[in-house]
Amino acid sequence: MTGLCIEVHDLAVSKLTAYRQKDKEFVRLLLIEKMIDAKILTERIGTLNIDEQLRERLIRWVNITVEELARPE
């Protein structure tokens, strides 16, 4: 039997395209725990064959989330 494992950035992009709250929270935690890199994430989003408005929304969400995480509490 062969098991296949999805690469973590691809998983995050897949979750974000659904754009459900629980998926955004999951990706946010991946960013917090430094399990994914925001630059790679936005590059992967850029390669998707999706509506341009959705692509822009996803990239904007990543950028805003990264900015929020960088702010001191």
| Angle formed at CA 63 by CA 62 and CA 67, multiple of 5 degrees | 115
Confidence of residue 37 (pLDDT cuts 50, 70, 90): very high
* pLDDT score of 12 more than 80: yes
pLDDT in the model for residue 1: 83
Q: Indicate the angle between helix axes 38-47 and 52-70, nearest 10 degrees.
A: 180
Question: Whose CA is closest to 16, among 52, 41, 51, 47?
Answer: 41
Query: How far is residue 24's CA from residue 16's CA, in Å, rounded to a whole number?
Result: 6
Confidence of residue 3 (pLDDT cuts 50, 70, 90): confident
> Tens of pLDDT along 49-70?
999 999 999 999 999 999 999 9
**Would you kindly state where each structural domain of the chain is located, as residue ranges?**
8-70
* Largest pairwise CA distance in the chain: 47
* Sole residue written with tokens 């395209």: 17
